[in-house]
């Protein structure tokens, strides 16, 4: 039970951070456009490929694109096919997958 509450709190904080990033473009330049166009740009300009994605809500998906050189981009796409780059950077490191054991986080 406590694990579910903790997971829900962490998830709510992460969603809140995504909303804050999208709501305050003065702090960061948010670039939006058609998903296909942005994905092609990431592939051609930065050699980035999708390494994972997750559902934020019924209308939004978050995707992570990474290059072999370590550049990365966080892309958020809605059900209309509009995508926005919320964050990008360098030095991406993939960590090994960890299998959670019963009773642990």
pLDDT, tens only, 32-79: 999 999 999 999 999 999 999 999 998 999 999 999 999 999 999 999
Q: What is the mean pLDDT of the chain?
A: 78
Sketch the domain layout of the chain as residue ranges: 2-89
pTM score:
0.66
- In this structure, how many other beta carbons lie within 10 angstroms of the beta carbon of residue 51? 13
Tell me which fold the domain 2-89 belongs to: Double Stranded RNA Binding Domain (3.30.160)
pLDDT at 6: 40
Handedness of CA 46, 18, 55, 96 (dihedral sign): positive
């Amino acid at each position: 039970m406590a694990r579910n509450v903790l997971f829900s709190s962490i998830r709510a904080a992460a969603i809140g951070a995504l909303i804050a990033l999208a709501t305050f473009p003065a702090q960061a330049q948010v670039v939006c456009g058609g998903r296909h166009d942005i994905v092609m740009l990431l592939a051609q300009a930065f050699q980035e490929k999708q390494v994972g994605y997750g559902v934020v809500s019924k209308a939004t998906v978050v995707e992570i694109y990474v290059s072999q050189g370590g550049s990365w981009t966080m892309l958020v796409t809605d059900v209309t096919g509009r995508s926005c780059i919320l964050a990008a950077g360098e030095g991406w490191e993939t960590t090994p997958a960890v299998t959670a054991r019963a009773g642990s986080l």
